[in-house]
Structure 1
Amino acid sequence: MKNWYKILSVILILYTIFWGMLGPVPRLDILNETIRNVYYHVPIWFAMLFQMSVSIWFAIRYLMSNNPEHDTISFNAAKVGFFFSIPGILTGCLWAKYTWGTYWTFQDPKLNGVAIGILIYLAYFILRNSIIDELKKARISSVYNVFAYVMLIVFIMILPRLTDSLHPGNGGNPAFAKYDLDSNMRLVFYPAVIGWVMLSWWVLDINNRFSKLKSKVND
C-alpha cells in the first residue's frame, strides 16, 4: 500500500498530541510543564532539516544529470522545509517566553543562527524567482542551494556548540538527554520525530504531484 506512511504519520502525530499533553514528564526547574514542547518544537525542526537535506540531495543530482525533475523536487523540498521552519520558530518563541522571559533573545547564538539560516533560504527563493531562463534558474539555484544548506548546518549545529548558549546541548548548557529525556518521554519523542518527518514527506509528495500536473498543463 503506497499510502501507508501517510496513515502512520497521522496516527503518530495524533498519539504525540494526546499522550504528549497527558503523559508523565520529569519535574524540572524553570522548564516545568513546558518540557512537553520538546514533543513538538524539536520534531518539527527534524522535519525541516530532513526536507532541506532532500533539497540539497536533489540539487546535487540536478547538477550531475541536468534532469529538470530533480530541480523541481529540490525546489519543492526547500519550500516544504521553509514552511516547517515557521511552526518550528513559533513553538520555539513560545517556549522561550515561558522559560527565558522573552520571545527572542539576540544573546543566544542558536536563535541568531536560525534567523540567518532562514534568511539565506529566503534569498534562495528570491534568487530563483528573479531568473527567467529555466536552465539558468535551475543551475544557479542548485549551486546556491548547496551553499544555503552548508550555511544552515554551520549556523544552527556547529557554531552554537562552540560558544555558550541557552539551548540545551550547546556550549556549556547540558543536553536534554543528559538529565531529562527519560523512558516515558522517549516513548513520545521518537514517534513524534518519525510522524513529523513522514508528514513532511507527504507534503512534499503533494507538491511534486502538483508540479507535474502544472507542467503537463503548460505543455
Structure 2
Amino acid sequence: MYKNWWKILGAVLVVYSTVCGFLAGVPSLAILNESIRNLYFHVPMWFGMIVLFSISVYYSVKYLSTNDPDHDLKAVESINIGVVYGILGIVTGSIWAKYTWGQAWSFDVKQNFAAIALLLYFAYLVLRNAIDEEQKRAKISAIYNIFAFPIMVVLLFVLPRMADSLHPGNGGNPGFNSYDLDSRMRAVFYPACLGWILIGCWIYNLRYRIRKIENKQNS
C-alpha cells in the first residue's frame, strides 16, 4: 500500500478538484462568468502533458546512453499519454473559447502554436510506425524526441508572447492574477494540477507494464 500512496493521492485530488470545480464558489468576472471553472480542467491537462513529455525526453536520453529497450518503451508510452492530455487540453480550451471568444477555434496564435506542438508528437508516433527494425526505430525516435521537446517549449511559451493574442498571459493580454485566482480557486486549482499529473503518470506506468508483458509473450 505504501508504494501506491501517490496513486491514491492522485485519485483523491482529481475527485476533489472535479467536485469542487463544479460546486465551489468562483469570482464573478466579466465575460468569463462561470466558464472560469474550466481553469481546473484545461490548464492541468497542459501541465500533465508537459510533465509526461519531460519524462519521455529523460528516457530517450537514457536509451541513447544505454541502448536499454525498456527506456525506449517508457519514452513512447509517456508520449502516448502526453498526446492524450494534449488533445484534452485543446478540446477543453476550445470549449472555453466558444463561451468567452465566441467561437471554438479563432486561429488565435496560442491555439495555432499549441496545435503545431501537438502535431510534432503525432509525427513522432508516425515515425515510429514507419520503421520496422527495433533498434533503428528506437534510436531515431529518441533523437527526434530530444529535438522536439525544446521546439514544443518554444511554441507554447515563447512565440505566443511575441504576437497579439486573446489567450490570458500572451501577446500583451494579462494572465490570471491574484485578484482573479482568489483563495477559493487556488485551493482547487493547485490540487487539480497535481492530481492530473499523478494520474497521467499512473496511466503511463500501467501502459508501460502492459507493453512489457506483451513483449515478453511475443519474444
Q: Check whether TM > 0.5.
A: yes
Distance 2:166 2:127 in 1: 33
Distance 2:146 2:176 in 1: 30
Q: How does 1:44-193 map to 2 (within 5 A)?
A: 44-106=45-107, 108-193=108-193
Q: In the alignment, what sits opposite 1:208?
A: 208
Deviation at 1:146, TM superposition (A): 1.3
Find the residue that maps to 2:137 and give its secondary structure: helix
Deviation at 1:177, TM superposition (A): 2.3
Amino acid at match of 1:61: K
- Aligned-pair RMSD on alpha carbons? 1.0
Larger mean Cα displacement after TM superposition, 194-203 or 172-181: 172-181
The alpha-carbon distance between structure 1 residues 50 and 168, as it changes in their structure 2 partners (threshold 3 A), is same
Distance 1:83 1:191 in 2: 20
Q: In the alignment, what sits opposite 1:199?
A: 199
Moved beyond 3 Å, runs of 4+: none
Find the residue that maps to 2:3 and give its secondary structure: coil
Once the two structures are superposed, what CA deviation does each residue of 1:43-95 show, in whole Å capped at 9, x if it has no partner?
11111111011011111111122111111100100101001112111111100
Once the two structures are superposed, what CA deviation does each residue of 1:79-129 show, in whole Å capped at 9, x if it has no partner?
0100111211111110000000000011x1110011111111111111110
Matched, 1:35 2:26: no
Deviation at 1:179, TM superposition (A): 3.6
Amino acid at match of 2:187: L
Larger mean Cα displacement after TM superposition, 23-32 or 170-179: 170-179
Larger mean Cα displacement after TM superposition, 189-198 or 61-70: 61-70
The alpha-carbon distance between structure 1 residues 132 and 77, as it changes in their structure 2 partners (threshold 3 A), is same
Distance 1:201 1:177 in 2: 29
Distance 2:212 2:6 in 1: 21
Deviation at 1:178, TM superposition (A): 4.9
Amino acid at match of 1:123: A
TM-score (norm. length: structure 2): 0.97
Amino acid at match of 1:95: W
Find the residue that maps to 1:175 and give its secondary structure: coil
Gap runs ≥5 in structure 2:
none
Amino acid at match of 1:141: S
Find the residue that maps to 1:177 and give its secondary structure: coil
Gap runs ≥5 in structure 1:
none
Amino acid at match of 2:136: K
Identity rate, percent:
49
Once the two structures are superposed, what CA deviation does each residue of 1:125-157 show, in whole Å capped at 9, x if it has no partner?
111100011111000010111122121111111
